[in-house]
Chains A and B, each alone.
Chain A
Amino acid sequence: MPVISRKRRATEHFVKFLCLAAAVTGSLMLFFIVGSVFLGAIPSLTPYFLFTPESATPRIGMGILNAIVGTMILSVTATLLAVPLALGTSVYLQRYARPGRLVGTIRFFIEVLSGTPSIVIGMFGFLVFVYYMKSVTGGFSLMSGSVALSILIMPVIERAIEDAIMRVDLSLEEGSYALGATKYQTIRGITLPVAMSGILTGTILGFGRAAEESAVVILTAGYTQFMPELAVKSNPAFVFGVKVYPVQDLVASLPYAVYHAYENSNVIPLSNGFAAAFVLICVVLIINIAARVVLHLGFAGSGAPISARLRSALSMRRIDRVVEPDRSPREGAAACPFRELDLEETRHVSGPSNTQGDRRGGP
């Protein structure tokens, strides 16, 4: 039994208490913010406020349906634009690229992009899409907004997908190669299906990032009191002489509605601003929680199912357990906070499961 002096013991208790206090303070902030926004929002959280577009209300800021719908359309479009490029980039970096200067450079640029202040991307979008390409995009519009947002969320999605691909057990892929599959067949048939939950998580996270962004949206998408409409109208200012709604039209968004309530706080009741903020928090928190659930299910549920078609294409037997629940495929690697393990390290980590992979991979 080591002897610990009273002073050392007191320090120990004091520091432990300090750390606990800091942790509790930090986690209470979430409840403080969400709680006070909710309390401020209660008077305005009515079906009328939530389900009426602002154009149908007597005064400004009295309805937010246009903003809710606008945020959804903007985020979906931005995500659809960003996912293909992000997916291609992560597959290249994880499965094709050899470590070297090119990969280092590409990674550096992706990191720069992911750290770029959103106002900088917003300004770029403002000048290029809204100002210079006005006849194509329609100035402030859904098109300008979603392209600018997709630039913003691309690195978020890329990183999550790359993480997911890195977690794929290499012995599975080796099994596929042993059966004579090409690299592309293996990626399409094994790597991507197994990484599917992580890919979905990344997509959802990107969607959430697009939904919460304000600066970019203010500078590129603009704001309108009207609901998005589906129409093609003749308009000589546009490149083909027609303006396509809603793509080339202004679109409202929840972050801008919240900012409006701040800018016009002498006209718009405070509770309306809080209610718009509360709806925005709910949208984003639900998205974040969904992302966690998908990721958790993906790993606890022993990997994503591999579709029957691809299995038969590779004439493989059914794979029930891709990742055993009690054994994370990169347990050693998981402890390392940085993701840039190269292929060799990953192979080393997944080494012990090779025998199992051989057994499974047999004809």
Chain B
Amino acid sequence: MDLRDTPKILFLTAAASMALLVILIFGFIAWTAAPVLVKTGPGFITGTVWDYDTSTYGILVFIAGTLVLTAVTMAIVIPIGILTAIYLAEWAPAPVERILRPSIELLIGIPSVVFGIFGFFVLRGYFAHTINPAIGAVLGWIPFLRDTTPGSGTGILLAATVLSVMTLPTIVALSQEAMRSVPKEFREASLALGATRWETVRHVVLPSAFPGILTSVILAMMRAAGETMAVVMLLGNLAELPGSVLGGGYAMTSKILNDIGFYMGEAEPRSALFAIALVLFIIEIGMVAIVRAASARIRGACP
């Protein structure tokens, strides 16, 4: 063997072992989850009852909790995030951008457990006494806006509000970059035709930056769906199908964190909890694949 190849082999080993690590983690989780998945079959996804005593494991409640929570979070954060990105990319003068941008990006450094206690001890009071009653009173005739847990404060809306602050920097930073990378000539051509800034943004910048914006939204969704600490504290941990945005729910991540400590020593409950993790992992891999497809399109479009 040529001695000069040694560094290359070392570097390759590092890269390969990182990839193998992921396969190892996935394999290990799948292997641990297999007994319950084989026993329960598709009922694991469609079942709504989770009971250790009768060893019935169905996670529809938790899947629904995670999905509804993520959807409400996105409904809050996408408009705010994209409008912010448009402002920063199109209108903000340099000094204003120098203040706004870092203060949004530094949000990414706030630990999720801090978001959790901030939501629980600071925001929950407002939601319990002001926001939830107000929404319930004005819009309560819409089924999914009923205040089903009056006075509690915790619930999907509170958790989604906090998660939308957590995911805001992801959307703002990546969407802004995507809008920045739209060639200047496109904008100039549109402006020269007499379009206003907003018309240019709407008809030229947003369509060209769409794959990048989509990527930012999916990354934010991944962050929201995978978040544990803040969700455990704020979602209410109510094990039923979410009926209202103001009511509680139970996310997949919360179920794992709340129960794993008690059931690690018992083979079947442990297997069931790992099966939840496996479902989360598979959802995440799917989202990564979508991001890759979108960014491949962008790479094709880059000058």
Contacts and interface: CB of A to CB of B under 8 A. Distances in A.
A and B co-occur in one complex:
yes
B103 A27 contact: yes
Nearest to A11: B198
B207 to A, nearest CB: 16
B129 interface: no
B206 to A, nearest CB: 12
A102 B168 CA distance: 34
Contact of B88 (A23, A40, A91): A23
B138 interface: no
Contacts of A85: 14, 17-18
Interface stretch (A107-115, A226-234, A299-307): A107-115
Nearest to B281: A120
Contact of A212 (B79, B107, B111): B111
B38 interface: no
Interface in A10-34: 11-12, 15-16, 18-27, 29-31, 33-34
B239 interface: no
B1 interface: no
Contact of A184 (B4, B81, B222): B4
Interface size class of A (residues with CB under 8 A): 35 or more
A84 B86 CA distance: 39
Contacts of A214: 111-113, 228-229
B244 to A, nearest CB: 25
B122 A36 contact: yes
Contacts of B280: 117, 119-120
A108 B15 contact: no
Given A18-B83, A40-B122, A115 B222 contact: yes
Interface string B178-199: 1011000000000000101111
A70 B256 CA distance: 25
Interface in B71-115: 79-81, 83-84, 86-88, 90-92, 99-100, 102-104, 106-115
Nearest to A89: B15
A22 B83 contact: yes
A89 B117 contact: no
Interface in B233-285: 233, 253, 256-257, 260-261, 264, 270, 273-274, 277, 280-281, 284-285
A273 B117 contact: yes
Nearest to B229: A214
A26 B18 contact: no
A280 B11 CA distance: 35
A131 B199 CA distance: 59
A111 B29 contact: no
A197 to B, nearest CB: 18
A131 B298 CA distance: 44
A261 B114 CA distance: 11
A217 to B, nearest CB: 10
A26 B79 CA distance: 11
Given A16-B198, A109-B19, A285-B106, A88 B168 contact: no
Contacts of A18: 83
B217 interface: no
Given A116-B284, A270-B121, 8 more contacts: A8-B196, A16-B91, A19-B91, A33-B107, A87-B14, A115-B284, A187-B7, A259-B229
Interface of A: 2, 4, 8-9, 11-12, 15-16, 18-27, 29-31, 33-34, 36-37, 40, 84-89, 91-93, 95-97, 105-106, 108-113, 115-121, 123-124, 126-128, 130-131, 151, 154, 158, 182-184, 187, 208, 211-215, 218-219, 255, 258-259, 261-262, 270, 273-274, 277, 280-281, 284-285, 287-289, 292, 332, 335-338, 340
